[in-house]
Amino acid sequence: MLDMEAAIVDTGDRLTNERVQGAQNAMRNVPTAKEKLVGFLSKTEDFHRLMNFLEAVTKMTYSTKSVNDRGTMHYYRNLLNASNVKGKVKNAYRPYGILYYTVLEGLCLALFLRHFGIEDLDADIPLPDGFSDMSEEDKIGWLNEICSTILRKWFFDSTQDVFHYLREVITDKVHPENYWLLPKEQTERLVANRFINLQGGRNNNIAPDEFIDMLNRDSKIACSV
């Protein structure tokens, strides 16, 4: 049994994660906890996890054969002139990510307008009475309630969508993919060390493993010159 009080979180890319788990599986039948490598908790780092997720999403939703089909991702790719979205996701992670985020923002806006029955983009949103006199906290609370209603309706009420398994994971505190397994102090330390900011300012955080990948890339370029 894994001693979570003494757990050592080992993070890396998918290959590193598979090697650690493979080593643990290979040592399952040995007699001692030390030989079984008990206490090592292997996790895929954020950047690689997001890349794996984006690769899975593109396999399900992106096809160059759908260029003329309105509403498809490749149609939006051409409509937005996102010519840098090409090839494998691992070689164009940010362009693919920006494309999907842009389309997602458009869908969220469309669902928001549909919630109010608005078809004209220039139409006024029906705000509650006295909205201008409400506190900033109450305004945000009203907006959050609208967004929660939309999310529940379109993303959480169905058991046949791609989010079904994800919901099962995040709502299960003892699921092995959740960091709730760790002691509180270790959980806080793990969360606090998720990002690095090289430029300063807001919205410029990157995952540490993405920074390591950047260093690896620069090193390979320097060694090949």
What pLDDT digit, counting tens, does each position of 127-167 carry?
999 998 999 999 999 999 998 888 888 877 666 666 677 77
List of the chain residues with pLDDT < 50: 1-5
Confidence (pLDDT) at 208: 78
Question: Does residue 134 lie within any of the structural domains?
Answer: yes
Confidence (pLDDT) at 158: 65
Q: Domain residues for 141?
A: 127-180
Confidence (pLDDT) at 204: 81
Question: Does residue 211 lie within any of the structural domains?
Answer: no
Domain total of the chain: 1
Question: Does residue 155 lie within any of the structural domains?
Answer: yes
Question: Does residue 159 lie within any of the structural domains?
Answer: yes
Confidence (pLDDT) at 96: 94
Question: Does residue 20 lie within any of the structural domains?
Answer: no
Confidence (pLDDT) at 81: 93
C-alpha triplet 98, 101, 105: angle, nearest 5°: 135
Question: Does residue 43 lie within any of the structural domains?
Answer: no
